Amino acid sequence: MTTPDSEYRELERQFTDGIFEAYRFLARTISYRAIWFLDTVALEGGIGAARKFIYGKDATYGLEKLREAGLLDRSIEAWVLEPRFERLFTDEERERARRRLEEYQFDVDAYLEGLERDR
């Protein structure tokens, strides 16, 4: 039987693993290697890194790079908005991630609808 704490830790692990996999995908497909991003995730964990990026100004280069490649769905902000990770973030954090993506003309609603269809 899993406890709420172990369920949370499992979600946290899945989130962090997903972020690392998204990074590897971007490195392979568009040769985008942001060592500072990897360092932040390694030091802060996926959730800590997500909070740092959605509240900071440092991620603008990365978001621009992903927008140019049409891959904003691989951003940490997009991961924050995934319904399965809703429990890991506050409404304010999720709204901030949404606004950051919308600033880069990412259709968040279509993205979320696509996730629902894929379930």
pLDDT, tens digit, 9 for 90 and up, residues 46-98: 999 999 999 887 667 889 999 999 999 999 999 999 999 999 999 999 999 99
pLDDT, tens digit, 9 for 90 and up, residues 100-115: 999 999 999 999 999 8
Between the alpha carbon of residue 44 and those of residues 1, 21, 26, 61, the distances in Å are 29, 17, 20, 20
End-to-end CA distance of the chain: 25
| Residue 58 pLDDT | 63
Widest distance between CA atoms in the chain: 45
The amino acid sitting at 100 is R
pTM: 0.89
pLDDT, tens digit, 9 for 90 and up, residues 1-26: 556 699 999 999 999 999 999 999 99
